[in-house]
Structure 1
Amino acid sequence: MRAIVTSPGSESSRGQIREILAVPGSPRTILFSALGRLPVAMTSIALLFYIQRSTGSFGDAGLVSGSALVGTAIGSVVQGRLVDRLGPTRTLATATGIYVSAAALAFLLVESGGVLPVLMVCAAVLGLAQPALGTASRAIWAHRLPAGPAREFAFTYEAISLETFFILGPALAAILASLEWAGTGLVVAVAMMSVGTVGFLTSPLVRTIPRSSQRGRPLLHIIAIPGMQTLILAVLGFGIIIGFVEVAVPAVANLAGVSAYGGILLGLWSLTSVVFGIAYARRPWPRSYAHRAPVLLIGFGVLVALVAFVQGGLVVFTIALMVSGLLITPQATLHSLIVEAVTTEDQAAEAFGWVLAAVTAGVAIGHLSAGQIVEDFGPSVALASTVIPAVVLGGIVALRRRTLRGG
């Protein structure tokens, strides 16, 4: 197991950053990798808004966006193994071609009033082919940086930046979807993902990544680690709650007659989380990962559920929603720290792939469930329902807390 690198503000961290940037071609590679990974969670939420504004149904929108997320969850694991086996260029170039084609078909289907089952299949293919840059990006540092603090710093950056993009991406997509044409968010997401991936793959640094020599490992070997099993349960609950909010909050804005405000609400929710997360990281509580994971998950679900009972109009709802998002970034950071604590160095890349798959699957469950609840019972019931996965999965994580070493 590995220790976490020093804090970003320290002199040693600045030295590690200089060492990373000294690798020829690394600034360009980092830039395009970030551009391609920012929309990692934008596609599904952009689809959600696009379908909802085109059909008027949150139920249909949740089914389509949920299908895309199921595809993404599967694709992140499959592409990660293919990158190891075939290399990033061949794998991600093929995935990008399929991704762009599926996106074009999705636009055609929505604009022509395509039937729901066909839209769901198209969305699933779109998610499945969404380029998984994370594995390839980590592989660069494993190959080009010697074992030590600089490599650990690069790995930590990859993990935390990906989780941050997973938080900020949906907010950006929601804001873009509030523009005159509801498909704007999806266009921007596809463009950023495609340009970022192509720029990343054409970097000379990427072409130096060798194929993995560890081809015989079973697909589920990471899941055999007890700590990873517990972490995946925590991440799944985290994703489910986010998925519920991403559907219920726009529905609240829609009922209030200001549908464009839904994207702004999600943006404020994410922004508050990031700001609080920076402060929380300086003095996290509980200190132990084993206790922090269930406390943060249950607390997150309770805070979101309480928003359903807020009275006083949209302004009060906005404030309550911002408060409910305080625990997002602390959990995202904790997930990365736990991966570092319960896996070895050669397991970490695949473990992060499973974390991404778990949170994506959770958001998919949230979209699929919340869309139907909003249609049948309203957004307040959907928000209140988040306490159920939080308490159930948080309780299981608490019972398995001894498997979470570190902290």
Structure 2
Amino acid sequence: MLAIYRRILGEPGTALFSATGLVARLPISMVGLGIVLLVEARTDSYGLAGLVSGVTLASNAALAVPQARWTDRLGQSRVLPVAITIWGAALAGLMWSVEQSLPLAATFAFAAVTGAALPAVGSCVRARWSYALADNNQRQTAFALEAVADETVFMTGPIVVTLLATAAHPLAGLTAALVAGVVGTLALSAQRSTEPPPHPRVVERDARPRMPWATILPLSIVSLALGALFGAAEVTTVAFSDEQGATAYAGPLLAVWAAGSLIAGVLTGALTWRRTVLQRLRIGAAAMTLTMLPLALIDSLWAMAAALFVAGFAIAPTLIATISLAEACVPPARLTEGLAFLQTGMVAGVAPGAAFAGLVVDARGASTAYLVSAAGGAIALVAALLTRVTGVVGAVPNHGAVHEQHSPAGVRSDETQGQAPIPGTTRRTRRQTPP
């Protein structure tokens, strides 16, 4: 089963950019929590800590898409070093501002720049995979691998930042995030051989590739609903553990949930699917809704662990299908921008989901609050049902995303894999400029 993973990681440069991309993404799961731990330790106010962290999330959601657009136009090697340098300086300024008890305006200003400058490394890495691999089966596996990397980041990052901030120094967790982000992103941007070529802005608006909004907007809503599901589940699980008199078990419960998603992600990339990507997206969204519903009836830690593990199996396949469908439909010249809409939607959904779950916890108890996560799954399902595959760069066959130069419309990739290219089609190679 793992042979296909060895195959894609054996392509020139792919293992290196995937590994450095993993390191560069660690701040995504470390900075928000690190800010909360630092600000609370210095001000004894969780409210202020949450507000400063929220400013970084809001500014990141506001500037992620424009930054991704610049990355498509200018190239990763030009945008990423500038963005990560500004991010590192702003985060260092934020840490200094809190440590020195500077006016709150300075702290909020540093927080805003920190969020705005954080590069969308996940989108950049997936764009590299799309450029480096011509075969749609392999790209499907690559997106599954990156979903596993995301789960790894969100499983390890919070643990590392918490241990460093509580056992060493309140600044230690954010310092580790700063080093990982700067070193990882600079190492990624230095890898020019696997970098997608830039697509300079065209003067004529008619010549600019059009964004397939009928696909991207519903997928962005799917991502927003997923973010709400995640935010609600995290808050609810912490509250559930507290109600059970075992607050320390909140982390392990969330880790079990993530483990189920990680296993499903590995399996998704290794299997050959006979359903289209859009069908798998809809099935995944339905599965998320149905698997979250029983959690509202559980009143046992062990039963909750088992139920969360099962529910996790619906997460990664849904994420992979969402990204694969976007990759299939968005023109290569705007791929990073298109993927950034999905990432922005997910980030923007976390806070509302957590807030609604908190209100339900206060009113009806923790178990009932899992219905907020189920509602997030239901919204994702509705958005998936409304998704229309329009403006497609190529066919969207049964095995993930594919561009028209890889296989003709209506032909499954397993029917063409290993054969000579069909007349009228050409296979994209890593050093060719995508059309």
Query: TM-score normalized by structure 2?
Result: 0.72
SS in structure 1 at match of 2:89: helix
CA deviation profile, 1:112-161 (whole Å, cap 9, x unmatched): 77898876654443222112334554666777x5x833xx6775566444
Within a 5 Å distance, the mapping from 1:119-268 to structure 2 comes to 122-134=110-122, 136-137=124-125, 148-149=134-135, 156=140, 159-179=143-163, 181-182=165-166, 183=170, 185-203=173-191, 205=193, 211-215=198-202, 224-256=212-244, 258-268=246-256
**Largest Rg, 1 or 2:** 2
Q: Is the 8 A contact 2:55 2:112 kept in 1?
A: yes
Distance between the aligned counterparts of 1:282 and 1:203, measured in 2? 27
* Residues 203/275 of structure 1: CA separation in 2 closer, same or farther (3 Å cut): closer
Q: Is the 8 A contact 2:72 2:334 kept in 1?
A: no
Q: Which of 316, 336, 346 is the matching residue for 1:329?
A: 316
Cα displacement (A) at 1:328 = 1.0
Cα displacement (A) at 1:215 = 4.4
* Residues 221/94 of structure 1: CA separation in 2 closer, same or farther (3 Å cut): same
The reply on whether 1:361 has 2:355 as its aligned counterpart is: no
Of stretches 288-297 and 320-329 in structure 1, the one that deviates more from structure 2 is: 288-297
Q: Which of 16, 19, 42 is the matching residue for 1:31?
A: 19
* Residues 153/364 of structure 1: CA separation in 2 closer, same or farther (3 Å cut): farther
Cα displacement (A) at 1:270 = 0.8
* Residues 282/69 of structure 1: CA separation in 2 closer, same or farther (3 Å cut): same
Q: Is the 8 A contact 1:46 1:170 kept in 2?
A: no
Q: Which of 328, 351, 374 is the matching residue for 2:338?
A: 351
Q: Gapped runs of 5+ residues in structure 1?
A: 1-6
Q: Is the 8 A contact 2:72 2:333 kept in 1?
A: no
* Residues 370/192 of structure 1: CA separation in 2 closer, same or farther (3 Å cut): farther
Cα displacement (A) at 1:374 = 5.0
Q: Is the 8 A contact 1:59 1:371 kept in 2?
A: no
Query: What is the identity percentage for the equivalent residue pairs of Structure 1 and Structure 2?
Result: 25
SS in structure 2 at match of 1:212: coil
* Residues 210/62 of structure 1: CA separation in 2 closer, same or farther (3 Å cut): same
Cα displacement (A) at 1:310 = 1.1
* Residues 158/178 of structure 1: CA separation in 2 closer, same or farther (3 Å cut): same
SS in structure 2 at match of 1:230: helix
Give the aligned partner of residue 397 of structure 1. 384
Cα displacement (A) at 1:35 = 1.7
* Residues 64/308 of structure 1: CA separation in 2 closer, same or farther (3 Å cut): farther
Q: Which has the higher contact order (CA 8 A, sep 6+)?
A: 1
CA deviation profile, 1:293-341 (whole Å, cap 9, x unmatched): 23322431343343233113x3333233222222111112211221244
Cα displacement (A) at 1:61 = 5.6
Give the aligned partner of residue 79 of structure 2. 91
CA deviation profile, 1:254-298 (whole Å, cap 9, x unmatched): 455554433332222111211133345666899344443233224
Distance between the aligned counterparts of 1:115 and 1:265, measured in 2? 39
Distance between the aligned counterparts of 1:281 and 1:154, measured in 2? 8
Query: TM-score normalized by structure 1?
Result: 0.76
Distance between the aligned counterparts of 2:113 and 2:47, measured in 1? 20
Q: Gapped runs of 5+ residues in structure 2?
A: 399-435
Give the aligned partner of residue 306 of structure 2. 319
Cα displacement (A) at 1:238 = 1.3
SS in structure 1 at match of 2:253: helix
Cα displacement (A) at 1:73 = 2.7
Give the aligned partner of residue 32 of structure 2. 44
Of stretches 89-98 and 105-114 in structure 1, the one that deviates more from structure 2 is: 105-114
RMSD: 4.1
CA deviation profile, 1:329-354 (whole Å, cap 9, x unmatched): 11122112212443344443332222
Distance between the aligned counterparts of 1:362 and 1:259, measured in 2? 25
Q: Is the 8 A contact 2:209 2:331 kept in 1?
A: no
Distance between the aligned counterparts of 1:309 and 1:114, measured in 2? 47
Distance between the aligned counterparts of 2:291 and 2:28, measured in 1? 26
Of stretches 29-38 and 367-376 in structure 1, the one that deviates more from structure 2 is: 367-376
* Residues 179/373 of structure 1: CA separation in 2 closer, same or farther (3 Å cut): farther
Cα displacement (A) at 1:378 = 5.2
* Residues 339/400 of structure 1: CA separation in 2 closer, same or farther (3 Å cut): closer
SS in structure 2 at match of 1:311: coil
* Residues 156/399 of structure 1: CA separation in 2 closer, same or farther (3 Å cut): closer
The reply on whether 1:71 has 2:55 as its aligned counterpart is: no
Distance between the aligned counterparts of 1:340 and 1:361, measured in 2? 21
Q: Is the 8 A contact 2:36 2:50 kept in 1?
A: yes
Give the aligned partner of residue 3 of structure 1. none
Cα displacement (A) at 1:241 = 0.2
Count of residues in Structure 1 that have an aligned counterpart in Structure 2: 388
